[in-house]
Amino acid sequence: MKGIVSMKAYTELTKKEREELFSALMNEYKNYCNMGLSLDLSRGKPNSAQLDISLGLMSVDMSRENCFSRGGLDCRNYGVLDGLPEMKELFSDVLGLDPADIIVGGNSSLQLMYGCLTRAMLFGVPGGRGPWSQEEGLKWICVTPGYDRHFRITELLGFELVSVPMTDDGPDMDKVEELVRDPKVKGIWCVPKYSNPTGNTYSDETVRRLAAMECASPDFRIMWDNAYCVHDFDEAGDKLADIFALAEKYGNRDRIYYFSSTSKITFPGGGVALMAMSEANRLATLKILGAETIGFDKLNQLRHLAFFGSADNMLEHMLTLGGVIKEKFDITINNLSSLRGLGIAEWTEPRGGYFISLDVLPGTAGRVHELMKGAGVVLTPPGATHPYGKDPDDKTLRIAPTYPTDGELDTATQILALSVKLAALEKLGV
């Protein structure tokens, strides 16, 4: 991954040196244990200071005259299945999407993804041979490490989850291209920008190959969860290629189901989600979605429109937010630096998003988790980043630095570095 730090050292210590080091570190660890801490590095949640940046959303003037859409529709009432045109335009301006491709949903993009896949199971998708639930032995590509909630949906729906390793440039495309020669392979989960949990962004060539590849399944789908689309720490954020433009070029526009939301722009507990897709996909989706609901919450769309006003304002808002999050990442990376050169850990140093992926000495992730718990720090369970919750190497830990306060985070990540060292020394023999 980008930003990974090269390693050496603990293996070069003698057993006696390891024992002495272990004993000193264990004393340090015990001091933390005695502090009665209760800290949490497991949740990809904004903290209160971040949420306060969007507080204006709650005091938007929603008096009667402001309850109407640009077109004069009373948004308090029924109507508009696919979202207000002005909401589509705002998303389009921010995300570089065709507004005509957009369907605005409720507060959860995950729910939109689940909806797309359950519709595929029950009714099929354009280009396919019917409901996926009628086919046997379907498989789904999971870029690993990846997002547990993605994996869980396809696991529940009965897909066999097939791991493809994440590289600096995104999924290992040689492997992906090989897998999609199997007509049973129906799709792939992607978090293309600041991927969860590795924090890297797919290279232009990776996006191109995803858009261009030959798939044996005629109705293969890329679940393109651009959750961290504008979640740069500063203006030097990663740039993601336009998958719709590339897919168009290769005649594969129907392949893309695109998702995003304002959950980590405004409020996870009351944001606005969207999906974007080709006309054929959209018409098929709206036909079923129109049986599912009369429409999503339009007043919350109006509230978001009034709060942001323009794409520029939203991007400026994200830079403010990015600055706050960067501090958290800096604290974390700074404490992980004590692992530098020890040959027992690698980690990512993203330029945006919500997560850092930490690879510890194989076979020690579970032990690190246990040590952290002993000191009162909750980590995401090891394995969560892998299909079926199982990391065969027991080495990957997802670090979510945003939720604790700066002080808590500093303590928690010092304990993290310490636990990684202790677990490594145990593994090497003390």
Q: Which residues bind a copy of itself (CB under 8 A)?
A: 43, 45-46, 48, 51-52, 54-55, 58-59, 62-64, 67, 74-79, 106-108, 110-111, 114, 118, 121-123, 131, 133, 149, 152-153, 156-157, 263, 267-270, 288, 291-300
Smaller CB separation from a copy of itself, 15 or 76:
76
- Whether omega for the bond prior to residue 382 falls within 30 degrees of 0, making it cis, is no
Q: Do 397 and 360 touch, CB atoms closer than 8 A?
A: yes
Q: Do 233 and 322 touch, CB atoms closer than 8 A?
A: yes
Smaller CB separation from a copy of itself, 268 or 389:
268
Least separation in angstroms between CB 372 and a copy of itself? 21
Least separation in angstroms between CB 403 and a copy of itself? 9
Smaller CB separation from a copy of itself, 298 or 367:
298
Checking 158-162 for CB contacts under 8 A at 24+ apart, the result is: 158/133, 159/186, 161/387, 161/388, 162/387
Smaller CB separation from a copy of itself, 22 or 267:
267
Least separation in angstroms between CB 400 and a copy of itself? 11
Smaller CB separation from a copy of itself, 295 or 374:
295
Smaller CB separation from a copy of itself, 35 or 122:
122
Q: Is the dihedral of CA 37, 41, 43, 49 positive or negative?
A: positive
Least separation in angstroms between CB 369 and a copy of itself? 21
Q: Where are the beta strands (DSSP E) in 343-395?
A: 345-347, 356-360, 377-378
Dist. CA 377–CA 414, nearest whole Å = 11
Please report, in angstroms and rounded to a whole number, the separation of the first and last CA atoms in the chain. 31
Least separation in angstroms between CB 2 and a copy of itself? 28
Report CA dihedral (62, 66, 70, 73) to the nearest 10 degrees.
90
> Pick from 302, 281, 256: which is nearest to 57 by CA?
302
Amino acid making up residue 400: A
Smaller CB separation from a copy of itself, 159 or 202:
159
- Whether omega for the bond prior to residue 197 falls within 30 degrees of 0, making it cis, is yes
Distances from the Cα of 352 to the Cα of 2, 112, 227, 232, 319, angstroms: 12, 24, 11, 4, 10
Per DSSP, 387 falls in state G
Least separation in angstroms between CB 354 and a copy of itself? 12
Question: Distance from CA of residue 189 to its chain's centroid?
Answer: 10
Dist. CA 117–CA 153, nearest whole Å = 8
Burial of 193 (0-12, 13-18, 19+ CB in 10 A): buried
Least separation in angstroms between CB 124 and a copy of itself? 12
Smaller CB separation from a copy of itself, 35 or 156:
156
Least separation in angstroms between CB 203 and a copy of itself? 30
Smaller CB separation from a copy of itself, 9 or 156:
156
Smaller CB separation from a copy of itself, 22 or 159:
159
Q: Is the dihedral of CA 157, 163, 167, 169 positive or negative?
A: negative
Dist. CA 328–CA 338, nearest whole Å = 17
Q: Do 284 and 103 touch, CB atoms closer than 8 A?
A: no
Least separation in angstroms between CB 401 and a copy of itself? 16
Smaller CB separation from a copy of itself, 80 or 215:
80
Least separation in angstroms between CB 80 and a copy of itself? 8
Least separation in angstroms between CB 259 and a copy of itself? 13
